[in-house]
Structure 1
Amino acid sequence: MAELVYRPVIGLARTLFKAWDLKIDCQGSEHIPREGGAVLVSNHISYLDFVFDGLAALPQKRLVRFMAKESVFRHRISGPLMRGMKHIPVDRKQGEAAYAHALDSLKSGEVVGVFPEATISESFTLKGFKSGAARLAQEANVPLVPMALWGTQRLWTKGHPRNFKRSHTPITIRVGEAIEASREQYAGAITRRLRERVQELLEAAQRAYPVRPKGAEDTWWMPAHLGGTAPTPEQVRAAQAH
């Protein structure tokens, strides 16, 4: 089936990356299967994460169908693009429809992208994982492919202004080996293993990241446990409770 929207959007994204002079370091794309269904699982620290997750799949000639909240599909600009790229809308009050849609896509040989934290992590640390990705992989009999991003929060994230200037911002992407998800396994155990693997990849991406904050005012994008001034997970939960 012709991709009348997805491929032009990829071209536009690449043009923007060049204009912003982003320094993209992507390793591990070979772990994404060249054919057949797979669930691509990533951490979530930016509104642009799906773009870079999708970028990691391009060397394998795969287009990823991401699960995203329904409001994005209702937006006058993003909506037509999301629908044209055949992404999957998620209504959290009626999640069964999104699950069934994603399952059909996997069984038809598509790669489906999932953010199991559900929302952006404002602490830039890994939150708890929901088990939907593992259950999808089990039911569709496809592998889970873990990956991690670092640096995307410096472009556009929750609570901070967008930075779409020529910033030379490094973006580090790490993709790990696939994890099998047989039906005999407990989905919770698979989810725990998956989260551990994404955590390992995130730490590897952070170690490989080529820059550090330039001064006290530039520490916002670093998590507290690495010496930054991003809120801790406990501080984020307390703020949300209020």
Structure 2
Amino acid sequence: MAEIVYPPVIALAKTMFRVLDMRIRVEGAEHVPNEGAAVLASNHVSYLDFIFCGLGAQPANRLVRFMAKKEVFDNAVAGPLMRGMHHIPVDRRAGEAAYDQALAALRSGEVIGVFPEATISRSFTVKEIKSGAARMAAAAGAPLIPMAVWGTQRMWTKGRPRALGTRHLPITILIGEPLHPTAEQDPNEVTAELRTRMAALLDEAQRGYPETPAPDQTWWQPAHLGGSAPTPEEAAALDDR
């Protein structure tokens, strides 16, 4: 398919990274295949995560087609960009259409990006995840690659003001070894293993992060590491509201 929009958007993003002098660490990029289908499954802590997850596939020269909620495509500014980059809209009331579109893209050799938690995690831990990524990978015979991003929540996350101009910000992107689910495997078991791997990568990213929050900025650190972010139980209650 014609790539008119995606390359300029990537170039603009990389320019902004340089202008802001962001300290971006990518590890495990070798797990993203140079060709053929793959499903990237990442945790979700920021509205900007898709930008950085896509960056993790850049060493392999791959463009990632992300599954994102339909409301983003309805936005007057973001919508044309999302469609131009051939991302996939997800209508939560009719999710099978998005699943079928993503599966067709995988079968044509594309890389699909998924946030299986479905929403941003306010606790900055990995929530329970959906089985769609495992089912897609198995149906397409594609590797299922766990990822974790950390640091992006400091720029823009749920319930916090944007800080898009933050300079010198460390961002960590970790990519783990792929799973290779098959149609014979229970997708729930594969999903449980995927969540375990995502959580391990996120914990590694958090514990190895080169900065600790200032006393008035502990909101961006998870509670189990001494921060003031909501616990998973508190976050679930907030989501229910």
Contact 1:21 1:166 in 2 (8 A): no
Runs of 4+ that moved beyond 6 A: none
Instruction: Give the letter for the 2:231 counterpart.
Output: T
1:232 corresponds in structure 2 to 231
Change (3 A) 1:166 1:235: closer
1:218 maps to 2:192: no
Deviations 1:199-239 (A, max 9, x none): 11111111221000122x11000011100000111112223
> 1:223 and 1:211 mapped to 2: Cα distance?
14
Deviations 1:165-190 (A, max 9, x none): 24211001100111100111100000
1:171 maps to 2:164: no
Contact 2:143 2:181 in 1 (8 A): yes
Instruction: Give the letter for the 1:219 counterpart.
Output: T
Q: What are the equivalent positions in structure 2 for 1:58-207 lying under 5 Å apart?
A: 58-207=58-207
Instruction: Give the letter for the 1:8 counterpart.
Output: P
The 10-residue stretch of structure 1 (1-10 or 74-83) with the greater mean CA deviation from structure 2: 1-10
Change (3 A) 1:117 1:83: same
1:43 corresponds in structure 2 to 43
Instruction: Give the letter for the 1:112 counterpart.
Output: I
The 10-residue stretch of structure 1 (200-209 or 91-100) with the greater mean CA deviation from structure 2: 200-209
Instruction: Give the letter for the 2:3 counterpart.
Output: E
Q: What are the equivalent positions in structure 2 for 1:21-40 lying under 5 Å apart?
A: 21-40=21-40
User: How far has the Cα of 1:15 moved from its partner?
Assistant: 1.0
User: How far has the Cα of 1:19 moved from its partner?
Assistant: 1.5
Instruction: Give the letter for the 2:32 counterpart.
Output: I
Contact 2:147 2:176 in 1 (8 A): yes
Secondary structure of the structure 2 residue equivalent to 1:39: strand
| Equivalent residues, number | 241
> 1:241 and 1:3 mapped to 2: Cα distance?
39
The 10-residue stretch of structure 1 (47-56 or 160-169) with the greater mean CA deviation from structure 2: 160-169
TM-score (norm 2): 0.98
Alignment RMSD, CA only?
A: 0.9
> 1:112 and 1:191 mapped to 2: Cα distance?
16
Instruction: Give the letter for the 1:149 counterpart.
Output: V
> 2:151 and 2:56 mapped to 1: Cα distance?
15
Instruction: Give the letter for the 2:189 counterpart.
Output: A
TM-score (norm 1): 0.98
Runs of 5+ unmatched residues, structure 2 = none
Identical positions, percent: 60
Instruction: Give the letter for the 1:77 counterpart.
Output: V
> 1:73 and 1:164 mapped to 2: Cα distance?
21
Contact 2:73 2:89 in 1 (8 A): yes
> 2:99 and 2:240 mapped to 1: Cα distance?
28
